[in-house]
Structure 1
Amino acid sequence: MIVNIKHDIFSNSGNDNDLNDFLHFFKSGKHQLILNNPDDFLSFENSTWKNSLKGDDLRLILKGLKSTFYKNKISISNLSNNDEDFSLKEAYLFLQKPLQILVEHLDYDSPFFIAIIEKLDFTGKLIDAFQNGWLEFDHGGGSTIESVIRNNITRQITTSPYFIKPLEKYLRYFVIKDSDREYCIINKDGTIIEQELIESKVRFFSEKKVPFHYLYKREKENYVPDCVFELFLQDKVKKGFAEAYLKLNNHQKDFFDLEKGFSKGEELKKREELSTEINNLYKNISDQTYESIGFGFANSYPRFKAKFSLEFKNVDKEQILLRIKHQPLVKSKIDGNERNEFEHIINEIKRLL
């Protein structure tokens, strides 16, 4: 995270000890000091704190001041009465906390997101952050993520007397949820009509200014590459499902319920029982394929939810990127750039760190 310390902090030598406490953030690389206001920089230059810095510490600070980073920013001032600037105490407690990636199920989802980070973040910064405890995955539950956030806001009341702003200001979250989409709509030219997220799904996150991302595909397991299913062809139990599944096109694989298929309890839904949109998506598959995948993969893959995500450990960068090649790009609300979905997730997490 970018830390902007304002002139009033530097001009008061009584803050020097507190500023020293921030040094370990900057030395470890967890956060970055920046002074892009002339008054703030001049105050730093003339401060007793700068004069007390020696050798590597001073060189580290000066090097950072010349760098530019595209990250979230926190401003520190003891004079401001607005909700934007943090006091020294507030800022220290806030910056000390890790960024938490809230997912629907910690054990089931984290192998997927760790695979994205390991294989696609060429800088290695996110793995370093994860190993250093600056970045954590946390269990939010599907429909209960909002409750987890509300409870965290409530706990802030008793955490510290220094937290006096609207309590959501102190949250450090990035939420990633399944879209639960069951279909996509494809134009005659092959392009996808993008579906807007239901407003009720995003209202809470927008109101609390919690960054979030809904997956494009139905669930995380829909991102497992074909190469994994090709390996299942060697397994007598999994072979039948894998053969039928591999006949689906990319769009069908994106929104198919891998766990339950088209089943309703012990029975298979008839095609006419499916919605018009779902029927249109799968209209070109044969009855035999429909029946082979109809009861889902859970029948052939014991402990499906708990174990299937571990298959992401067996794929490489090219295979995982191939599985999203046909998807629409994601436009960042922050910098306006369009990226593939995995690059978007990595970029958003880096910005929040």
Structure 2
Amino acid sequence: MKVEIDYDLFDSIKQEEDVIELNYLLNIILYKNRHSVYVTDTRVFKLEVYDSIPKTTQSVIELFFTQNVMTSEEKDCLICFDGASFDDEKKFNLVEGIRYLSQPVSIIVENSFNDSHFFKAIFRCFDDSEIINKHFENLWIQFENSGGCSNIINYIKGRSQFYNDRSKFFRCFVILDSDKLSPNDTNDKYSNVKEFLSLKKIAFHVLEKRMMENYIPDEAINANIHERYNKWKNAYLHLSELQKDYYNIPSGFIKVTSQAGKKTSKRDKKKEIKKNQLDALPEQVKNLYSDLSSSNFESLKSGLSIPNIKSEFPKFFNCEHTVYKKSLLQRTRHQRNPHELSDIVEKIMKLI
């Protein structure tokens, strides 16, 4: 994170306690190159308080000053004398700056244990700088469990109370499964969540595919699915790339609502599907899988039945010889946004 410290903040420091807090802030910023610090006003270098800063720290500040003169990069937050008067903009006073910059970045997911495998794979493959991995090693990034998509707003509201409802303190990124049944699914179940997060100025991303499991490359399916599940595996690998994007791997075609929108029990859905095959499914699902043979439909209809699939299947992302940059790009090259995974990494990089 690029942190600018304003001249007025330096100029306001008169007491010894303030000097200690300033040095503490600078230590947080510069410890193991966690952040970058920028001073853009040369008058800072002439202040008495600047002389109280350790010489090694001064050298780093002056190096960043030189870089800033050459590039004039936009800063991510500002530490200034009147920072406490701002609730939403990333402007902080000295004490607030310490609080904001010392907290880890939170990646908020529906299930922090299972979903973390997907994120770690895309960090490994798309962060060539390895900065994100460094932040993980130093516990500067953490996964947090929202408890499901329906609880995200309540979860954020709880965090807001901790910060007295001042959104500028949030250093988090929310990731959501789209849960779409097809690429043309217009049922935006997250419209209220997205509106809420936008209002709070919290970064978020809704996956283009149905869920995280749909990003697993074919190589990982081939390598990790036991031969006893060959019927399912062969039928799955015969799907088009788009069909794989919206197929529910754990539940198959069972976990969909009826065409009329009426929810039925899992047992009743199995009966409907067995009797009517694709005709029992919503129109958009039926159209997407219209070329599916009856035998492949039979193999796929109930999903992949490996034990503990919700926790075990995401672990396939850890397999480095099947999940790598090229194989993930292969699974996303046909998307509306083929750069989706690198875009996610870029969004998170802006927070660190």
Q: Please give the TM-score of this superposition, normalised by the length of structure 1.
A: 0.85
Determine the structure 1 residue equivalent to 2:37. Answer: 33
Q: Report sequence identity in percent.
A: 29
Determine the structure 2 residue equivalent to 1:202. Answer: 194
Give ranges in structure 1 of 5+ residues lacking alignment. 158-165, 186-192, 330-338
Determine the structure 2 residue equivalent to 1:333. Answer: none
- Three-state SS of the structure 2 residue aligned to 1:352 is coil
One-letter code aligned to 1:251:
L
Between 59-68 and 171-180, the greater mean CA deviation after superposition: 59-68
Aligned equivalent of 2:292, options 275, 278, 285: 285
Counterpart Cα distance in 1 of 2:190 and 2:13: 52
Query: In structure 2, do the counterparts of structure 1 residues 4 and 241 end up closer, same or farther at CA, with 3 Å as the change threshold?
Result: same
Contact 1:111 1:312 (8 Å CA) reproduced = yes
Q: How many residues align?
A: 322
**Could you report, residue by residue, the CA deviation over 1:222-245 in whole angstroms, capped at 9, with x for unpaired residues?**
111101222256x33211100100
Query: In structure 2, do the counterparts of structure 1 residues 57 and 240 end up closer, same or farther at CA, with 3 Å as the change threshold?
Result: same
Between 266-275 and 209-218, the greater mean CA deviation after superposition: 266-275
Using the TM superposition, give the Cα deviation of residue 128 of structure 1 relative to its aligned residue in structure 2, in angstroms: 0.3
Using the TM superposition, give the Cα deviation of residue 195 of structure 1 relative to its aligned residue in structure 2, in angstroms: 8.9
One-letter code aligned to 1:286:
S
Give ranges in structure 2 of 5+ residues lacking alignment. 256-265
Counterpart Cα distance in 1 of 2:167 and 2:39: 26
Question: Going by fraction, where is helix more abundant, 1 or 2?
Answer: 2
Between 8-17 and 219-228, the greater mean CA deviation after superposition: 8-17
Counterpart Cα distance in 2 of 1:198 and 1:70: 34
Q: Please give the TM-score of this superposition, normalised by the length of structure 2.
A: 0.85
Using the TM superposition, give the Cα deviation of residue 70 of structure 1 relative to its aligned residue in structure 2, in angstroms: 6.2
Aligned equivalent of 1:305, options 299, 307, 310: 310
- Three-state SS of the structure 2 residue aligned to 1:263 is coil
| Structure 2 residue 157 is the aligned partner of structure 1 residue 150 | yes
| Structure 2 residue 26 is the aligned partner of structure 1 residue 23 | yes
Determine the structure 2 residue equivalent to 1:4. Answer: 4
Determine the structure 2 residue equivalent to 1:188. Answer: none
- Three-state SS of the structure 2 residue aligned to 1:212 is strand
Contact 2:11 2:47 (8 Å CA) reproduced = yes
One-letter code aligned to 1:156:
Y
Determine the structure 2 residue equivalent to 1:43. Answer: 43
Give the RMSD, CA atoms, in angstroms.
2.2
Contact 1:77 1:88 (8 Å CA) reproduced = yes
Using the TM superposition, give the Cα deviation of residue 133 of structure 1 relative to its aligned residue in structure 2, in angstroms: 1.3
Between 70-79 and 6-15, the greater mean CA deviation after superposition: 70-79
Determine the structure 1 residue equivalent to 2:263. Answer: none
Determine the structure 2 residue equivalent to 1:258. Answer: 249
Contact 2:217 2:331 (8 Å CA) reproduced = yes
Using the TM superposition, give the Cα deviation of residue 88 of structure 1 relative to its aligned residue in structure 2, in angstroms: 0.6
Aligned equivalent of 1:322, options 309, 330, 344: 330
| Structure 2 residue 100 is the aligned partner of structure 1 residue 100 | no
Contact 2:36 2:64 (8 Å CA) reproduced = yes
- Three-state SS of the structure 1 residue aligned to 2:228 is coil
Contact 1:11 1:43 (8 Å CA) reproduced = no
